């Protein structure tokens, strides 16, 4: 692959999110990139763009056209795998929307296609835009630089993803096993699950209780309570729903040296003067506790989000800048989501790494046995996505 000065990007799926990516590039907000083509199977969606644009109805034609160096995929999730594999088979760079695939076995198929590429590999990234949020970066540094010491507990209540029935009726692929392959865990929570593993690493086992269609007329999960165990003995609880308002977005990480709390756009670190584990062993008083200092961590702004990931992708191709979100990282949030659904279906704890074939079989069974029919589907309309991302605003 020869060095290029400007990446010619083709966006596949230019509905809500992909339309926003295409416009960001068109408007010149993504340095080192030019929108060379767009692709959508829905002609009405293509019509939203000026006719001077090079347009394709079939991603295979766009990928083989010689007009694009890199492909951004923002179709419904199942097609991420097939279009991603086709992109790699043709040696092009790939930025996939989250989740990179619906299930772990598809992630593995995607990686196998990538690994098969001979010579210099194209770049592979994933749209984990919340990684650009300074408050999460600071929390990650706090944990990874050891300020909290040994982690003992991780709790994330993320019930601020409220969605109405109208949302689920918007687009026939949403919230069905065959069209989306999951609900809140596959659509909204890939961001949170990625951040969780990015900050604290992967748990080793998962027990979860998902409710399917608890708040909406859908067949997939819209309410989740999960319990995690980590290899150092730490435990975690992850609670998510699209059915509650007002919701909560509170991430709390406790370690022997204190507690970090991220809520309402503020990151607070309550620091123990000494290790609570040591203190507990050595104190001569039954009710004493370590002295604490309240540390408020300054955060400057909310990060570049989607545009920053797009810019980083183009910059990585042109200048070799490290990727913010390597595509391979995308498997971990998928694995966690799959493990939670499988745990619910089997009524037991799931050991990680998840057996990808077992989960694929379980998902195929859900698809085969589905009796759900969508009512009142409205065509996907251009939507203002800006208020829907749960990006913590620094206060």
Residue in the block written with tokens 């068109």: 26
Residue number with CB closer to ligand NAD (32 or 132) = 132
One residue of 7, 9, 11, 13 binding ligand NAD per CB under 6 A: 13
- 185 forms part of the interface with ligand NAD (CB under 6 A): no
By beta-carbon proximity to ligand NAD, the closer residue of 189 and 257 is: 189
Would you say 88 or 269 has its CB closer to ligand NAD?
A: 88
Is residue 10 a contact residue for ligand NAD (CB under 6 A)? no
SS3 of the chain: the string is CCCCCCEEEEEECCCHHHHHHHHHHHCCCCCCEEEEEEECCCHHHHCCCCCCCCEECCHHHHHHCCCCCEEEECCCCHHHHHHHHHHHHCCCEEEECCCCCCCHHHHHHHHHHHHHCCCCCCCEEECCHHHHCHHHHHHHHHHHCCCCCCEEEEEEEECCCCCCHHHHHECCCCCCCCCCCCCHHHHCCHHHHHHHHHHHCCCCEEEEEEEECCCCCCCCEEEEEEEEECCCCCEEEEEEECCCCCCCEEEEEEECCEEEEEECCEEEEEEECCCHHHHHHHCCCCCCCCCEEEEEECCCCCCCHHHHHHHHHHHHHHHCCCCCCEHHHHHHHHHHHHHHHHHHHHCCCEECCCCHHHHHHHHHHHHHCCCCCCCCCECCCCCCCCCCCCCCCCC
| C-beta nearest to ligand NAD: residue | 15
Q: Determine, following the binding rule CB under 6 A, whether residue 9 of this chain makes contact with ligand NAD.
A: no
Least Å from the CB of residue 129 to ligand NAD = 5
Count CA atoms closer than 13 A to 274's CA, side-chain side. 10
Q: Which is nearer to ligand NAD, 150 or 328 (CB)?
A: 328
In the complex with ligand NAD, the residue whose CB is nearer, 62 or 260, is 62
Q: Looking at beta carbons only, is 48 or 207 nearer to ligand NAD?
A: 48
Q: Which of 7, 9, 18, 310 is in the footprint of ligand NAD by CB under 6 A? A: 18
* Residue 76 binds ligand NAD (CB under 6 A): yes
User: Segment near ligand NAD (CB under 6 A), from 41-49, 227-235, 255-263, 371-379?
Assistant: 41-49
Is the CB of 25 or the CB of 276 nearer to ligand NAD? Answer: 25
User: Any contact of residue 17 with ligand NAD (CB under 6 A)?
Assistant: yes
Please identify which residue in 45, 240, 314, 316 interacts with ligand NAD, judged by CB under 6 A: 45
Residue closer to ligand NAD (CB basis): 74 or 157: 74
Please name which of 157, 119, 314 lies closest in space to residue 250, comparing C-alpha atoms.
157
CA–CA gap between residue 72 and residue 351 (Å, rounded): 33
| Residue 16 lies near ligand NAD (rule: CB under 6 A) | yes
The contact pattern for ligand NAD, residues 114-153, with x = CB under 6 A and - = no contact, is -------------x-x------------------------
- Which member of 84, 122, 171, 327 binds ligand NAD (CB under 6 A)? 171
343 binds ligand NAD (CB under 6 A): no
* Residues numbered 268-327 forming contacts with ligand NAD, rule: CB under 6 A: none
- Binding interface with ligand NAD (CB under 6 A): 12-13, 15-18, 39-42, 45, 59, 74-77, 79, 97-98, 127, 129, 171, 187, 380, 385, 389
């Amino acid at each position: 692959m020869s060095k290029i000065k400007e990446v010619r990007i083709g966006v596949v799926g230019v509905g809500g999110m992909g339309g926003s990516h295409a416009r960001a590039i068109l408007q010149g907000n993504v340095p080192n990139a030019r929108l060379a083509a767009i692709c959508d199977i829905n002609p009405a969606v293509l019509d939203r763009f000026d006719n001077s644009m090079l347009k394709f109805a079939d991603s295979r034609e766009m990928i083989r056209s010689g007009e694009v160096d890199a492909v951004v995929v923002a179709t419904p999730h199942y097609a991420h795998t097939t279009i991603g594999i086709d992109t790699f088979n043709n040696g092009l760079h790939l930025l996939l929307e989250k989740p990179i695939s619906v299930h772990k076995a598809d992630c593995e198929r995607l990686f196998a296609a990538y690994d098969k590429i001979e010579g210099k590999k194209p770049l592979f990234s994933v749209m984990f835009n919340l990684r650009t949020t300074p408050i999460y970066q600071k929390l990650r540094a706090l944990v990874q630089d050891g300020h909290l010491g040994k982690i003992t507990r991780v709790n994330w209540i993320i019930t601020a993803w409220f969605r109405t029935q109208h949302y689920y009726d918007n687009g026939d692929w949403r919230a069905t096993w065959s069209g989306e392959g999951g609900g809140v865990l596959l659509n909204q929570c890939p961001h949170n699950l990625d951040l969780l593993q990015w900050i604290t690493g992967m748990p080793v086992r998962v027990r979860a209780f998902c409710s399917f269609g608890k708040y909406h007329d859908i067949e997939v999960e819209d309410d989740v309570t999960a319990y995690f165990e980590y290899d150092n003995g730490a435990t975690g609880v992850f609670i998510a729903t699209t059915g509650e308002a007002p919701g909560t977005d509170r991430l709390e990480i406790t370690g022997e040296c204190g507690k970090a709390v991220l809520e309402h756009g503020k990151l607070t670190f309550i620091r123990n003067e000494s290790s609570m584990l040591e203190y507990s062993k050595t104190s001569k008083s039954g009710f004493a506790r370590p002295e604490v200092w309240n540390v408020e961590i300054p955060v400057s702004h909310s990060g570049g989000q989607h545009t920053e990931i797009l810019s980083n992708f183009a910059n990585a191709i042109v200048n070799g800048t490290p990727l913010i979100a390597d595509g391979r990282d995308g498997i971990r949030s998928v694995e966690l989501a799959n493990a939670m659904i499988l745990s619910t279906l089997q009524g037991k704890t799931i050991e990680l790494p998840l057996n990808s074939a077992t989960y694929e079989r379980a998902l195929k069974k859900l698809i085969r046995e589905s009796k759900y029919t969508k009512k009142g589907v409205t065509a996907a309309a251009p939507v203002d996505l800006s208020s829907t991302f749960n990006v913590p605003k620094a206060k």
